[in-house]
Amino acid sequence: MSRPRVVLATRNAHKITELSRILDRAGTGVELIGLPPVDELAEVVETGRTFTANALLKARAAVAALGVPAVADDSGLCVDALNGMPGVFSARWAGRHGDDSANLDLLLAQLVDVPDEERDAHFACAAALVTPAGVEIVTHGRLDGTLARAPRGSAGFGYDPVLRPAGEARTCAELSPEEKDAISHRGAAFRRLAPAIAALVGT
């Protein structure tokens, strides 16, 4: 018997790998599939003012286009010294969506004069499940830490090379995938969402 299918509503290859790993380990009993190419299904414009709103926008669009349940997330870095920014603008902080290097460079330049004791920040994530029947469930995760003064590590993506989780000397990009999943904002949000996925669409 084939497993029920759930769309991961993202084209970010790093995120697909990470979310697939998290949900597989959570034992949801579903087959995860990716989005079709952009020429078949347009990119969703993230117009929401919150992580929750953007996660729901992406999941709803995938359900409308493909007719199967979808999960999506919106996540970002919230810096205390920048009044919670870049927040929902994290992926396009430097102007072009998904330019990790430019985003990191701009962020560190903005914080160059901020002392170490005032460099608190956290990753936030909203994870959404939407079904064709109209069920919508959103869960959240958060990872608190401090910001390093230069990127370190190559195992992560986005702002992983500059966030040191609370109690850690290493950045998120210096952690193993297993270590990162155990404490990450996405790991927390999707582990909370996994029971709902299993109950609503699993075997």
Q: What is the mean pLDDT of residues 135-160?
A: 96
Q: What confidence tens digit (pLDDT) does each residue in 149-176 have?
A: 999 999 889 999 999 999 999 999 999 9
Looking at per-residue pLDDT, the higher value among 39 and 52 belongs to 52
Q: What is the pLDDT of residue 27?
A: 81
- Token readout for 43 is 């990119």
* CA geometry: angle 122, 11, 154, nearest 5 deg: 50
Q: What is the mean pLDDT of residues 137-157?
A: 96
Q: In the chain, where does DSSP find H-type helix?
A: 13-25, 51-66, 100-110, 177-183, 185-201
Q: What is the pLDDT of residue 202?
A: 57
Omega of the bond leading into 86 within 30 degrees of 0 (cis): yes
What are the chain's domains?
5-201 (3.90.950.10)
Catalytic hit among 73, 74, 160, 181:
74
Q: Catalytic: 74? A: yes
Please report where in the chains the tokens 């102007």 appear, as a residue: 95
Q: What is the pLDDT of residue 170?
A: 98
Strand 70-79 relative to strand 5-8: parallel, antiparallel, unpaired?
parallel
Q: What confidence tens digit (pLDDT) does each residue in 90-127 have?
A: 999 998 888 999 999 999 999 999 999 999 999 999 99
The sign one gets for the Cα dihedral 92, 55, 53, 80 is negative
Query: CA 28, CA 193: separation in Å to the nearest integer?
Result: 10
* Structure letter (DSSP) for residue 86: B
* Structure letter (DSSP) for residue 44: P
Residue 38, pLDDT above cutoff 70: no
> What single-letter amino acid sits at 192?
R
Q: 203: pLDDT confidence band, cut at 50, 70 and 90?
A: very low
